[in-house]
C-alpha cells in the first residue's frame, strides 16, 4: 500500500494544457470556457467501433490518460447510449455493423451530436466503399463533424469534440432564435 | 417552537438534497488527484444533473409504469431517509416515527424498486445487475443491523437522534466495541454504495457492473433522479456514520440558536471533506474483489459487528439505558 | 522428419523465412496434414484463391510452421461449380473458422459439420462470393440480416447472456454468447466478423507498391508487423534486399510496437480489476513512448513507416540518445510497477487462477504467440526462425507455465524488459547507410511469403502478384485466428464478471481476424 501511495505522490499531476489548434482558432482553454458556459461542461460520449482497425480506438483510449485527461474537462465516456450526448464513431461502417450503429444512434436521446473520427469514418479511408464497407459514417447516419487522421492524435480529437459541440450548440441556439423571432 | 423545529427539519432535508452531489463531486476530485490527473470542478455533478434534466427521455418500448415511477420512488425514499438521520441536529420531528431499523427498511425499499426496474426492460445486463445488487444487499443488511445493535447496547436506543444525544451526554465514552462497529460500518458503506472493492463506479465493463447495470436503460430526468438518489444514499450513509461514531458538532436536543446550527453545518462539511478523501484513498489503492468474494467480505463485516457486540457484553462495559 | 513431406517435390517460395510449396491432390492434402500433425507442425493459416480465369481451378492453400521452414500445401479444386475440399479441422481445430471464412469469400466448401457463415452476417447475399473474380469490388448490397444458430445449452436454470457487438467500453465489436447458471459460465460462444471490411478484395485493386498501407491497417496495433510482413513478401519476390540501417530501424519499430501494446495491456488489466492506479502509471509510460515515436519515427503509430525496400524516414540528430534515456526511465518505472503489481494482494487474487488455459489444451488447439508462451509453449519466430536482424540479435524466449491471467501478465512484463534490451542493442549498433532500395515491379503470378513475429504472435502475409505491378491475391493472417477459440476454453470454470479480465489478458484482434 505504501509503495502505491508514494508512487502516486512522486508522480504528481500530469495533466497538460493543450496547445492552440491553429493560429486563427481560439486557444483550447477559451473553447473549454465556451463549453463550460453552454453545455455546463457535462458531456457524455458513447463510442461505437463500426469496423475500425483499432488504431483510432488506441488514440481515443489515450484521451483518458493523465496527460490529456478528458474527464478533467468534464467529458466522460459512458456505457449506455441512453446516457450519452455525443456519438463518436470510428471505422468505415462495415456492412455487419450497420444495423448496430443505427440502433445505437436511435437509442441516444436528443439533443445529440455525431462525430466521425479518423479517415475511415470521414471517407472510408483506404477501405473505401465495397461489398463489406459502407464507406463513410455519413452514408449511414447524419454526422455533424469529422475528425480526419490515420489515426488522429488525441489533441486533435479533443479539439474536434469541443468544436463539434460548440458548433452544434451554436446551431441549436440559432434555431431557437429563429423560432422565437 | 414546533414550527421552528419543523422548519429546521425541512431545512436539514433541503441541505442534504443540495449538498449530496457536492460530496460525490468531492470524492471524484480526490480520486482524480490520486490518479495523477487534474480534477473536474467540484460542481461538476450539478452541471451533469442540470444537463440531464434538459435532455429528452429515450424510453424503451417495453418499459412499464414501474420503470418510470422508480426514479421518483428512489429519490423519495432517500429524501425520507435524510429526514430521519441527524446530520445537523437531533431535534427531528420525523425521526419520532422511525428509528434505525426503519432506516434500513427505507434502504431496502429503494433496493427492491431499483432491482425490479432493472429487470423491467428484460435486458440481460439489468437482470444481472439486479441479481448482484440483491446478493450484496441481503448480506449487507444484517451487517448494518448488527452495527445498529452495537449502538443500541451502548446508548439504549436505535433511534439515531437518541444515539447522538446519548453520546453528547457521555462524551468520554470510548468502548472497544465501537472500533469493531466502525470498521464493519465502513465495509458495509463501501458495499452498499457501489464502491471499490465491491463495485467500480467508473467501470466500462458491462459484465462486471452491479449498480451501473441497473441504470443502463435510464435517460434524462429519470437518470438525473437516480444519480441524485445514489448521491443522497452515500450522503445518508456518511451522516449515519458520523452520527454513530463522530457526532461532534451535531446540535443536540434542547440546544438552540443559529450559532450551534452554523457550527453544525461547518462540522458536517469538514467531516464530509475528510470522509470523502479517505473513501477516495481506499478506492485508489484497492482492487475490485472477484464477485464471489463479496459475500466473504460482507460476512467479515457481519462478524466484526457481532464481535463488537460480544466484546461489549463480555467486558461488561457501561450501558446507558 | 521433413522427408515425409515429399521433399523432392517441394518448390521453394521466396520469403524471409525458408518456405516451400507442395502441390497435392485430395488424398495428399489429408495425408500430408495428418503427417504434419504427427510431426508436431504448427498450423499457420488456410486460404483460397479463384484461378478460374487462369487455368479453370479454384485453389485452397494451407501453411504450417516446421522447425526449419514453412510448408505450404496447394490443392487445386477441379469441380468449379460445386468446389469442395477435405476439411482439416478434425486434425487442426484452428482451421475450422478459416475454412468457414474461405467459404464466405469464395464459395469453396470444406465438407465440415459446422457450415455456418463466419464473415457474412447478411451484408451480402448468400449466393454471392465476393472474392471471386467476377464480383465487382465496389458493388454493395442491401442488408438482409440472418439468424445465427448459436449452440444451445439445455438444463435447469441455464440462461443465455448476449454481449455485443457494441460493448460498453472503447473496444472493437464482437459478439459473445454465454450460457450460464447464475454467474458460472457453462459455455461461451464467440461470433466475430463484425469488422469485416473486405481487405482481401481490396488488396486486388491496389498496386504492389501500396499494398503495405492496407496491410498495416488490417489491425492498427500490429501495423508495423503487418507492413513488414507485406514488404518482406514483396522484397523476397523481387529479390530486393533492404539496406542494413533500414533493417535495424524496422526491428526497432517492431519492438516499440511490442512495448507500447504491452504497456497498454498491463495498464488496462489493472484497470479492469478496479486498480485505476495501474492504468494511470502504465498509460503515462505508453504516452511517453508514443511521443518518443513521434520525435524519432515521425508518427505515434507507425502505419506507413515500413515501405517496400526499407523505411520511410531516418532517426533525427540526437534521436538515438533520446530513445536511450527513454528506455532507462521506462525500465525503472516498469520494474517498480511490476513489484507493486506482484505485491498487491487484491490484484493478484484477481489474476491468479483466472482464465486458465492449460498447456495440453493450448497445444491441442495450436495456440501461437503470446497466449501460447504464457501456457508453456516455447514458440517465438524471433528465436526459432530468426530473420534479419534477429539472426544477429539472439532474443531470449519468455514463457510461463501456468496459463492464467497472471502468467500472461508475467510474459508481458518479461517481454517489455527483453524488448528494451534488444532496442538498446539495435541502437548502439545502428549501421549507417541508405534507408531504402526501391524494389522492382514483379511480374505476374509470383508467390511470396512474409512471416513476422508481431506482438500477439506470428503475422503472415502471402502475396501473389499480378501482371502490370498489381496484386492478384494477398492473404494477410493475424495470429488471433488461432487464439480466439482458446478464449472459449479459458473462461470455463470462471464466472461471468471475470470474462473482461480474461479477454483483455489475451487482447486478441477483432479487426485482424475479420479482415
* Contact with chain B for residue A148, Cβ under 8 A: no
Distance from CA of A68 to the nearest CA of C (A): 10
Name the average pLDDT for chain B.
87
- Average pLDDT of span B293-314: 92
How far is residue B150's CA from residue B158's CA, in Å, rounded to a whole number? 9
Distance from CA of A9 to the nearest CA of B (A): 8
Nearest Cα residue in chain B from C496? B207
pLDDT of residue C65: 95
Nearest Cα residue in chain C from A57? C170
Is the pLDDT confidence value at A173 over 70? no
Name the average pLDDT for chain C.
93
Is the pLDDT confidence value at C1 over 90? no
How far is residue C280's CA from residue B176's CA, in Å, rounded to a whole number? 39
Is the pLDDT confidence value at A38 over 60? no
**Closest by Cα among B37, C461, C36, C139 to A132:** C139
How far is residue A150's CA from residue A56's CA, in Å, rounded to a whole number? 7
Which 3 state secondary structure label does DSSP give C75? strand
* Yes or no, beta carbons of B40 and A107 under 8 Å apart: no
> From the candidates B33, B119, B205, B292, which should be mutated to test the interface with C, based on the most C CB atoms within 10 A?
B205
Distance from CA of A180 to the nearest CA of C (A): 39
Report chain B residues whose CB lies below 8 A from the CB of A40: 47-48, 50-51
Domains of chain B: total = 1
pLDDT of residue A37: 56
* Contact with chain A for residue C132, Cβ under 8 A: no
Evaluate whether ipTM surpasses 0.85: yes
C-alpha cell at A158: 479533443
Is the pLDDT confidence value at C201 over 70? yes
Instruction: Identify the sign of the CA torsion B16, B20, B23, B27.
Output: positive
* Yes or no, beta carbons of C171 and A57 under 8 Å apart: yes
Is residue C474 in a domain?
Answer: yes
* Yes or no, beta carbons of C276 and B202 under 8 Å apart: yes
Domains of chain C: total = 2
Nearest Cα residue in chain A from C119? A96
Which 3 state secondary structure label does DSSP give C477? strand
Chains A, C: CB contacts within 8 A come to 175
pLDDT of residue A20: 45
Q: Mapped to the 3 state alphabet, what secondary structure does C17-72 carry?
A: CCEEEEEECHHHHHHHHHHHHHCCCEEEEEEEEEEHHHHCEEEEEEEEECCCCEEE
Nearest Cα residue in chain A from B36? A13
C-alpha cell at C291: 511521443
How far is residue A67's CA from residue B36's CA, in Å, rounded to a whole number? 9
- Given B208, B285, B289, which is nearest C500 (Cβ)? B208
Q: List all residues 6 or more positions away from C44 whose beta carbon is below 8 Å from its beta carbon.
A: C62, C63, C64, C65, C70, C368, C451, C458, C460, C477
Which CATH number belongs to the domain containing residue C351 in this structure?
1.10.645.10
The residue among C83, C106, C129 that closes a domain is: C106
pLDDT of residue C177: 94
pLDDT of residue B153: 81
- Average pLDDT of span C163-191: 92
- Contacts of B among chains (3+ CB pairs under 8 A): A, C
- Average pLDDT of span C37-45: 93
Q: How far is CA A176 from CA A60, A172, B47, B50, B56, in A?
A: 33, 6, 21, 19, 16
Is the pLDDT confidence value at C2 over 70? no
Q: How confident is the model at residue A25 (pLDDT cuts 50, 70, 90)?
A: very low
* Yes or no, beta carbons of A109 and B57 under 8 Å apart: yes
The residue among C89, C106, C123 that closes a domain is: C106
Nearest Cα residue in chain B from C503? B205
E strand intervals along A50-122: 75-77, 86-90, 113-117
Which 3 state secondary structure label does DSSP give C362? helix
- Given B128, B284, B287, which is nearest C273 (Cβ)? B287
Q: How confident is the model at residue A178 (pLDDT cuts 50, 70, 90)?
A: low
Is the pLDDT confidence value at B320 over 60? no
Nearest Cα residue in chain C from B290? C350
Contact residues of B toward C, CB < 8 A: 31, 34-37, 124, 128, 131, 196-197, 200, 202-209, 284-293
* Yes or no, beta carbons of B58 and A107 under 8 Å apart: yes
Q: Which domains does chain A have, with CATH numbers?
A: 43-180 (3.40.50.12280)
Q: Are strands C11-13 and C19-24 parallel, antiparallel or unpaired?
A: antiparallel
Distance from CA of A11 to the nearest CA of B (A): 7
Is residue B263 in a domain?
Answer: yes
pLDDT of residue B97: 72
* Contact with chain A for residue C113, Cβ under 8 A: no
Q: List all residues 6 or more positions away from C305 whose beta carbon is below 8 Å from its beta carbon.
A: C224, C227, C253, C297, C298, C299, C311, C312, C313
**What does B129-177 look like in DSSP terms, one character per residue?**
HHHHHHHHHHHHHHHHHHHHHHHHHHHS--SHHHHHHHHHHSTT---HH
* Yes or no, beta carbons of A72 and B32 under 8 Å apart: yes
Grid look-up 461538476 returns B44
Please report, rounded to a whole number, the percentage of residues in chain C having pLDDT higher than 70.
Answer: 99
pLDDT tens, position by position, C402-454: 999 999 999 999 999 999 999 999 999 999 999 999 888 888 889 999 999 99
Which CATH number belongs to the domain containing residue C11 in this structure?
3.30.460.80
Q: List all residues 6 or more positions away from C185 whose beta carbon is below 8 Å from its beta carbon.
A: C178, C179, C491, C492, C493, C494, C495, C496, C499
* Yes or no, beta carbons of C496 and B207 under 8 Å apart: yes
* Yes or no, beta carbons of A132 and C124 under 8 Å apart: yes
Is residue B321 in a domain?
Answer: no
- Average pLDDT of span B302-314: 91
pLDDT tens, position by position, A101-160: 999 999 988 788 899 999 999 998 999 899 999 989 999 999 989 999 999 999 889 888
Q: How confident is the model at residue A22 (pLDDT cuts 50, 70, 90)?
A: very low
- Which residue segment(s) compose the domain that C18 sits in? 2-106
187-216 of C, contacting A, C-beta below 8 A: 193-199, 201-202, 213-214
For B286-312, b/e burial (b = at least 16 CB within 10 A) is bbbbbbeebeebbeebbebbbbbbebb
For C199-222, b/e burial (b = at least 16 CB within 10 A) is bbbbbbebebebbbbbbbbbbbbb
- Which residue segment(s) compose the domain that B77 sits in? 2-315
Using a cut of 0.90, tell me whether the model's pTM lies above it. Answer: yes
How far is residue B79's CA from residue C346's CA, in Å, rounded to a whole number? 35
pLDDT of residue A171: 64
Is residue C182 in a domain?
Answer: no
Residue of C8 and B254 predicted with greater confidence: C8
* Contact with chain B for residue A9, Cβ under 8 A: no
pLDDT of residue C179: 94
Task: Note whether C221 and C82 are same-domain residues.
Answer: no
**Closest by Cα among A164, A173, A179, A149 to A43:** A164
* Yes or no, beta carbons of C124 and A77 under 8 Å apart: no
Grid look-up 484461378 returns C51
- Given B50, B212, B218, which is nearest A82 (Cβ)? B218
* Yes or no, beta carbons of A108 and B58 under 8 Å apart: yes
Burial of A142: CB neighbours in 10 Å, binned 0-12, 13-18, 19+: exposed
E strand intervals along C78-227: 159-163, 175-181, 184-191
> From the candidates C121, C148, C195, C346, which should be mutated to test the interface with A, based on the most A CB atoms within 10 A?
C195
pLDDT tens, position by position, B263-296: 888 999 999 999 999 999 999 999 999 998 999 9
How far is residue C332's CA from residue C341's CA, in Å, rounded to a whole number? 14
| Phi and psi angles of residue A40, each rounded to the nearest 5 degrees, phi first | 65, 20
How far is residue C216's CA from residue C179's CA, in Å, rounded to a whole number? 36
Which 3 state secondary structure label does DSSP give C459? strand
Report chain B residues whose CB lies below 8 A from the CB of C167: 206
* Yes or no, beta carbons of A42 and B216 under 8 Å apart: no
Which 3 state secondary structure label does DSSP give C165? coil
Is residue B185 in a domain?
Answer: yes
How far, rounded to the nearest angstrom, does the alpha carbon of residue C147 sit from its chain's CA centroid? 28
pLDDT tens, position by position, C72-85: 999 999 998 999 99
Chains A, B: CB contacts within 8 A come to 85
* Yes or no, beta carbons of B286 and C274 under 8 Å apart: yes
- Given C194, C264, C283, which is nearest A94 (Cβ)? C194
* Yes or no, beta carbons of C349 and B289 under 8 Å apart: yes
Task: Note whether C211 and C92 are same-domain residues.
Answer: no
* Yes or no, beta carbons of B206 and C277 under 8 Å apart: no
The continuous run of DSSP H or E covering B124 comes out as: helix B124-155
Chains B, C: CB contacts within 8 A come to 78
* Yes or no, beta carbons of B288 and C273 under 8 Å apart: yes
* Contact with chain B for residue A73, Cβ under 8 A: yes
- Contacts of C among chains (3+ CB pairs under 8 A): A, B
Please report, rounded to a whole number, the percentage of residues in chain C having pLDDT higher than 90.
Answer: 85
* Yes or no, beta carbons of A61 and C170 under 8 Å apart: yes
- Contacts of A among chains (3+ CB pairs under 8 A): B, C
How far is residue C84's CA from residue C87's CA, in Å, rounded to a whole number? 9
How far is residue C344's CA from residue C341's CA, in Å, rounded to a whole number? 5
Task: Note whether C78 and C223 are same-domain residues.
Answer: no
pLDDT tens, position by position, B181-224: 999 999 999 999 999 899 988 888 888 889 988 898 898 899 99
C-alpha cell at A65: 490518460
How far is residue A171's CA from residue A142's CA, in Å, rounded to a whole number? 15
Report chain A residues whose CB lies below 8 A from the CB of C197: 51, 92, 94, 127, 130, 132-133
- Given A57, A80, A131, which is nearest C130 (Cβ)? A131
| Phi and psi angles of residue B170, each rounded to the nearest 5 degrees, phi first | -130, 70
Distance from CA of C170 to the nearest CA of A (A): 6
- Given C159, C350, C500, which is nearest B205 (Cβ)? C500
Is residue B112 in a domain?
Answer: yes
- Given C274, C279, C498, which is nearest B197 (Cβ)? C274
Grid look-up 525496400 returns C309
pLDDT of residue C193: 93
How far is residue C73's CA from residue C80's CA, in Å, rounded to a whole number? 19
Amino acid at each position: 500500500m505504501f509503495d502505491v501511495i508514494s508512487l502516486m505522490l512522486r508522480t504528481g499531476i500530469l495533466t497538460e494544457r493543450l496547445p492552440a489548434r491553429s493560429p486563427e482558432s481560439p486557444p483550447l482553454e477559451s473553447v473549454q470556457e465556451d463549453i463550460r458556459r453552454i453545455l455546463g461542461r457535462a458531456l457524455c460520449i458513447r463510442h461505437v467501433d463500426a469496423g475500425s482497425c483499432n488504431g483510432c480506438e488506441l488514440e481515443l483510449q489515450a484521451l483518458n490518460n493523465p496527460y490529456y485527461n478528458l474527464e478533467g474537462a468534464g467529458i466522460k465516456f459512458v456505457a449506455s447510449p441512453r446516457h450519452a450526448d455525443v456519438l463518436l464513431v470510428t471505422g468505415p461502417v462495415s456492412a455487419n455493423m450497420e444495423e448496430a450503429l443505427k440502433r445505437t444512434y436511435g437509442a441516444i436521446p436528443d439533443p445529440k451530436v455525431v462525430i466521425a473520427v479518423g479517415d475511415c469514418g470521414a471517407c472510408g479511408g483506404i477501405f473505401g466503399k465495397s461489398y463489406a464497407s459502407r464507406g463513410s459514417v455519413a452514408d449511414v447516419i447524419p454526422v455533424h463533424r469529422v475528425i480526419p487522421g490515420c489515426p488522429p492524435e488525441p489533441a486533435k480529437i479533443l479539439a474536434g469534440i469541443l468544436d463539434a459541440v460548440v458548433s452544434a450548440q451554436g446551431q441549436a441556439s440559432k434555431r431557437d432564435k429563429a423560432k422565437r423571432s | 417552537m414546533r414550527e421552528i423545529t419543523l422548519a429546521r427539519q425541512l431545512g436539514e432535508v433541503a441541505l442534504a438534497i443540495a449538498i449530496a452531489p457536492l460530496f460525490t463531486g468531492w470524492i471524484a476530485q480526490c480520486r482524480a488527484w490520486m490518479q495523477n490527473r487534474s480534477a473536474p470542478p467540484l460542481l461538476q455533478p450539478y452541471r451533469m444533473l442540470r444537463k440531464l434534466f434538459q435532455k429528452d427521455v429515450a424510453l424503451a418500448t417495453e418499459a412499464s409504469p414501474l420503470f418510470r415511477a422508480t426514479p421518483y420512488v428512489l429519490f423519495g425514499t432517500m429524501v425520507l431517509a435524510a429526514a430521519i438521520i441527524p446530520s445537523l441536529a437531533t431535534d427531528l420531528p420525523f425521526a419520532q416515527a422511525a428509528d434505525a431499523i426503519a432506516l434500513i427498511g427505507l434502504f431496502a425499499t429503494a433496493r427492491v424498486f431499483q432491482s425490479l426496474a432493472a429487470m423491467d426492460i428484460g435486458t440481460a445486463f439489468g437482470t444481472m445487475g439486479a441479481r448482484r445488487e440483491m446478493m450484496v444487499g441481503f448480506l449487507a443488511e444484517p451487517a448494518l443491523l448488527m452495527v445498529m445493535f452495537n449502538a443500541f447496547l451502548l446508548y439504549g436506543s436505535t433511534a439515531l437522534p437518541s444515539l447522538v444525544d446519548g453520546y453528547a451526554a457521555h462524551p468520554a465514552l470510548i468502548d472497544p466495541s465501537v472500533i469493531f462497529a466502525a470498521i464493519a460500518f465502513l465495509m458495509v458503506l463501501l458495499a452498499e454504495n457501489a464502491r471499490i472493492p465491491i463495485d467500480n463506479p467508473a467501470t466500462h465493463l458491462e459484465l462486471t457492473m452491479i449498480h451501473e447495470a441497473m441504470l443502463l436503460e435510464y435517460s434524462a430526468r429519470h437518470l438525473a433522479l437516480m444519480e441524485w438518489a445514489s448521491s443522497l444514499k452515500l450522503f445518508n450513509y456518511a451522516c449515519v456514520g458520523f452520527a454513530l461514531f463522530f457526532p461532534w458538532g451535531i446540535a443536540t436536543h434542547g440546544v438552540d440558536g443559529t450559532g450551534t446550527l452554523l457550527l453544525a453545518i461547518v462540522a458536517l462539511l469538514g467531516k464530509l471533506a475528510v470522509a470523502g478523501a479517505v473513501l477516495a484513498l481506499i478506492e485508489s489503492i484497492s482492487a475490485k474483489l472477484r464477485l464471489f468474494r463479496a459475500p466473504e467480505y460482507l460476512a467479515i463485516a457481519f462478524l466484526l459487528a457481532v464481535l463488537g457486540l460480544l466484546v461489549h457484553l463480555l467486558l461488561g462495559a457501561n450501558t446507558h439505558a | 522428419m521433413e522427408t515425409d513431406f515429399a521433399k523432392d517435390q517441394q518448390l521453394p517460395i521466396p520469403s524471409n523465412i525458408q518456405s516451400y510449396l507442395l502441390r497435392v491432390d485430395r488424398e495428399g492434402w489429408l495425408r500430408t496434414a495428418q503427417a504434419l500433425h504427427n510431426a508436431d507442425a504448427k498450423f499457420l493459416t488456410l486460404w483460397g484463391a479463384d484461378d478460374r480465369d487462369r487455368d479453370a481451378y479454384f485453389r485452397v492453400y494451407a501453411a504450417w510452421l516446421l522447425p526449419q521452414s514453412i510448408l505450404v500445401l496447394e490443392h487445386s479444386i477441379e469441380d468449379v461449380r460445386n468446389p469442395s475440399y477435405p476439411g482439416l479441422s478434425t486434425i487442426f481445430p484452428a482451421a475450422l473458422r478459416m475454412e468457414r471464412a474461405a467459404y464466405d469469400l469464395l464459395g469453396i466448401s470444406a465438407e465440415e459439420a459446422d457450415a455456418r457463415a463466419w464473415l457474412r452476417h447478411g451484408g451480402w447475399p448468400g449466393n454471392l462470393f465476393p472474392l471471386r473474380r467476377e464480383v465487382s469490388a465496389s458493388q454493395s448490397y442491401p442488408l438482409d440480416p440472418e439468424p445465427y444458430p448459436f449452440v444451445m445449452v439445455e438444463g435447469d436454470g441455464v440462461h443465455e447472456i448476449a454481449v455485443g457487438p457494441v460493448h460498453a467500453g472503447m473496444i472493437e465489436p464482437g459478439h459473445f454468447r454465454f450460457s450460464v447458471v447464475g454467474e458460472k459460465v457453462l459455455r461461451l460462444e464467440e461470433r466475430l466478423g463484425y469488422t469485416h471490411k473486405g481487405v482481401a478484395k481490396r488488396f486486388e485493386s491496389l498496386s504492389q507498391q501500396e499494398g503495405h498501407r492496407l496491410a498495416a491497417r488490417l489491425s492498427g496495433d500490429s501495423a508495423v508487423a503487418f507492413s513488414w510482413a507485406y514488404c518482406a513478401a514483396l522484397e523476397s519476390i523481387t529479390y530486393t534486399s533492404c539496406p542494413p540501417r533500414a533493417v535495424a530501424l524496422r526491428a526497432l519499430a517492431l519492438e516499440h510496437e511490442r512495448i507500447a501494446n504491452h504497456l497498454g495491456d498491463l495498464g488496462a488489466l489493472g484497470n479492469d480489476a478496479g486498480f485505476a492506479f495501474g492504468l494511470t502509471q502504465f498509460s503515462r509510460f505508453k504516452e511517453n513512448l508514443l511521443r518518443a515515436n513521434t520525435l524519432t519515427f515521425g508518427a505515434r503509430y507507425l502505419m506507413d513507416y515500413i515501405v517496400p525496400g526499407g523505411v520511410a524516414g531516418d532517426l533525427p540528430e540526437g534521436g538515438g540518445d533520446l530513445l536511450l534515456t527513454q528506455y532507462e526511465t521506462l525500465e525503472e518505472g516498469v520494474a517498480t510497477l511490476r513489484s507493486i503489481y506482484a505485491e498487491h494482494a487484491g490484484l493478484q487474487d484477481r489474476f491468479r487462477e483466472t482464465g486458465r488455459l492449460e498447456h495440453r489444451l493450448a497445444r491441442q488447439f495450436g495456440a501461437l504467440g503470446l497466449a501460447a508462451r504464457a501456457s508453456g509453449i516455447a514458440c517465438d519466430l524471433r528465436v526459432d526462425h530468426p530473420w534479419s536482424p534477429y539472426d544477429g540479435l539472439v532474443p531470449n524466449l519468455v514463457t510461463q507455465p501456468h496459463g492464467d491471467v497472471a502468467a500472461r501478465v508475467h510474459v508481458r512484463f518479461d517481454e517489455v524488459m527483453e524488448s528494451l534490451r534488444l532496442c538498446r542493442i539495435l541502437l548502439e549498433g545502428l549501421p549507417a547507410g541508405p534507408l531504402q532500395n526501391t524494389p522492382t515491379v514483379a511480374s505476374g503470378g509470383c508467390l511470396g511469403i512474409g512471416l513476422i513475429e508481431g506482438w500477439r504472435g506470428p503475422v503472415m502475409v502471402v502475396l501473389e502478384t499480378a501482371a502490370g505491378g498489381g496484386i492478384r491475391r494477398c492473404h494477410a493472417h493475424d495470429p488471433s485466428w488461432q487464439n480466439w477459440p482458446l478464449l472459449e476454453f479459458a473462461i470455463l470454470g470462471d464466472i461471468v464478471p471475470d470474462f473482461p479480465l480474461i479477454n483483455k489478458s489475451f487482447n486478441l484482434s477483432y479487426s485482424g481476424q475479420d479482415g
